[in-house]
């Protein structure tokens, strides 16, 4: 048997994983998240100093000079208004971070620093004290530290080279949490909400049934394809213990909907294991028309008084590549489709064309997504 192309071997592997994965139970914590338990985005503004001449060109970024003047004034250094600052080692930056749920004062989080002006690189710079605010305008963390840049930018003698993005960097544990964000779990009243990471009515019902069987009580009920409500103790101390008792319950999730995903940029095709084909017959081939120019010379007969004439002539050749017809019977599975395409040595684009034809004919019982 001729080995299948790498792409189609990958498709078969995806099918086998999908079939076997449906019989494996997942934990509730892997299938759902607790309502109200979420991260929060923080943003701030600051100055990076200590750059080796790669900072903002202050003539084009006046806000950098203004920020530096305000900072120095707050530190007790007053600069005359008529002094024009020409700074090459300072850059204005935005600072953003993600505050995880249940983060407490004194804990640290990573921050990302990005240039706001025309700084060429932040390599070797240090971020000065910068408050990070939430959407409510309150300060939840303070960032400061040395910026680590993964990019590289070098210029010289009229040439330059840039690797990655040197105008952005990170500070590991660069922000200290100053105040926690009230969570929607321990301080909430009423039932807990479990939100499925992937909406599915069958999985929602199975999660509720598994929790009820484990606790021997009808405490869980699905509200829709995403949310399951669970009656939990009102005391926050007991809520934690209650969640610990149900998050490790194993549930067999429902099989995913039949989908075919096509990446038009890379030519990658992923066919789900639940894809089925209804009766259809398809022929897939290509017609090649070749037109070539052929120039001939027409010579006059002797003593005819005529002249030599160049006569253009075109040759047209039509070739049709012979391909067998595909005949798909009712309920054909993914393995049968891949096997049929492999037998004729078709390319990934051929498989895409076949799937699109089946979808147009109404014979493909799956969702066809092109990304």
Residue 259's pLDDT is: 73
Neighbours of 233 (CB within 10 A): 12
User: In this predicted model, which residue has the larger pLDDT, 35 or 281?
Assistant: 35
Report, as an integer, the average pLDDT of 16-39. Answer: 71
Pairwise CA distance, residues 26 & 21, whole Å: 10
Residue 229's pLDDT is: 92
Q: Is residue 41 over pLDDT 90?
A: yes
Residue 222's pLDDT is: 93
Model pLDDT for residues 283-298, shown as the tens digit of each residue: 555 544 455 556 666 6
| Of the candidate ranges 26-30, 205-209, 236-240, 342-346, the one whose mean pLDDT is the lowest | 342-346
Q: Which residues pair with 292 in a beta bridge?
A: 315
Q: Is residue 84 over pLDDT 80?
A: no
In the numeric block, the tokens 């309150």 are attached to: 138
Report, as an integer, the average pLDDT of 105-111. Answer: 93
Report, as an integer, the average pLDDT of 165-181. Answer: 90
Q: Which residues pair with 127 in a beta bridge?
A: 48, 145
Q: What CA dihedral angle connects 338, 344, 348 and 350, to 10 degrees? A: -110
Q: Is residue 90 over pLDDT 60?
A: yes
pTM beyond 0.95: the answer is: no
In the numeric block, the tokens 């038009």 are attached to: 264
Report, as an integer, the average pLDDT of 174-201. Answer: 83
Among candidates 263, 267, 260, which has minimal Cα distance to 349?
Answer: 267
Q: Is residue 2 over pLDDT 60?
A: no
Tokens (6 digits) for 333: 């599975």
| Of the candidate ranges 66-70, 228-232, 311-315, the one whose mean pLDDT is the lowest | 311-315
Q: Is residue 325 over pLDDT 70?
A: no
Residue 7's pLDDT is: 42
Pairwise CA distance, residues 290 & 79, whole Å: 79
Residue 358's pLDDT is: 67
| Of the candidate ranges 44-53, 184-193, 231-240, 299-308, the one whose mean pLDDT is the lowest | 299-308
Report, as an integer, the average pLDDT of 216-238. Answer: 88
Question: pLDDT exceeding 90 applies to what percent of the chain?
Answer: 23
Q: Is residue 3 over pLDDT 50?
A: no
For 66, the 3-state DSSP assignment is: helix
Q: Is residue 1 over pLDDT 70?
A: no
| Of the candidate ranges 59-73, 183-197, 307-321, the one whose mean pLDDT is the lowest | 307-321
Neighbours of 79 (CB within 10 A): 12
Residue 126's pLDDT is: 93
Give the start-to-end residue ranges of the domains of the chain.
40-177, 185-251, 259-370
User: In this predicted model, which residue has the larger pLDDT, 253 or 323?
Assistant: 253
Tokens (6 digits) for 172: 């590991």
User: In this predicted model, which residue has the larger pLDDT, 218 or 13?
Assistant: 218
User: In this predicted model, which residue has the larger pLDDT, 146 or 69?
Assistant: 146
User: In this predicted model, which residue has the larger pLDDT, 187 or 20?
Assistant: 187
Residue 139's pLDDT is: 94
Q: Which residues pair with 98 in a beta bridge?
A: 41
| Of the candidate ranges 15-24, 62-71, 80-89, 185-194, the one whose mean pLDDT is the lowest | 15-24
User: In this predicted model, which residue has the larger pLDDT, 125 or 13?
Assistant: 125
For 309, the 3-state DSSP assignment is: strand
Report, as an integer, the average pLDDT of 84-102. Answer: 88
Residue 174's pLDDT is: 93
Among candidates 152, 148, 153, which has minimal Cα distance to 169?
Answer: 148
| Of the candidate ranges 58-62, 259-263, 322-326, 339-343, the one whose mean pLDDT is the lowest | 322-326
- Residue 88: pLDDT band by 50, 70, 90 thresholds? confident
Residue 110's pLDDT is: 94
């Amino acid at each position: 048997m001729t080995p299948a192309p790498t792409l189609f071997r990958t498709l078969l592997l995806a099918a086998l994983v999908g079939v076997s994965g449906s019989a494996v139970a997942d934990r509730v914590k892997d299938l759902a998240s607790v309502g109200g338990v979420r991260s929060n985005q923080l943003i701030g503004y600051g100055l990076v100093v200590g750059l080796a001449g790669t900072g903002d060109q202050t003539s084009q970024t006046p806000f950098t000079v203004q920020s530096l003047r305000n900072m120095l004034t707050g530190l007790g250094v007053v600069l005359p208004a008529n002094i024009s600052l020409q700074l090459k080692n300072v850059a204005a930056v935005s600072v953003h971070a993600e505050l995880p749920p249940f983060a407490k004062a004194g804990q640290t989080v990573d921050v990302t620093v990005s240039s706001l002006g025309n700084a060429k690189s932040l390599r070797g710079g240090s971020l000065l004290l910068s408050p990070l605010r939430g959407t409510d305008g309150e300060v939840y963390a303070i960032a400061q530290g040395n910026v680590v840049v993964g990019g590289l930018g070098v210029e010289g003698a009229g040439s330059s080279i840039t690797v990655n993005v040197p105008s952005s960097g990170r500070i590991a544990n660069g922000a200290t949490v100053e105040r926690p964000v009230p969570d929607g779990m321990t301080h909430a009243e009423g039932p807990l909400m479990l939100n499925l990471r992937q909406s599915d009515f069958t999985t929602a019902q199975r999660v509720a049934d598994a929790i009820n069987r484990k606790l021997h009580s009808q405490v869980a009920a699905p509200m829709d394809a995403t949310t399951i409500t669970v009656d939990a103790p009102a005391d926050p101390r007991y809520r934690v213990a209650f969640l610990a008792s149900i998050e490790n319950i194993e549930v067999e999730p429902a099989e995913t909907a039949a989908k075919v995903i096509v990446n038009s940029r890379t030519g990658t095709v992923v066919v789900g294991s639940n894809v089925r084909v209804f009766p259809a017959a398809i022929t897939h081939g290509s017609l090649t028309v070749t037109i070539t120019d052929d120039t001939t010379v027409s010579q006059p007969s002797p003593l005819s008084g005529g002249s030599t004439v160049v006569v253009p002539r075109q040759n047209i050749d039509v070739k049709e590549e012979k391909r067998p017809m595909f005949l798909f019977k009712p309920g054909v599975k993914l393995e049968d489709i891949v096997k049929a395409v492999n037998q004729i040595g078709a390319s990934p684009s051929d498989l895409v064309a076949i799937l699109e034809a089946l979808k147009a004919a109404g014979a493909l019982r799956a969702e066809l997504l092109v990304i």
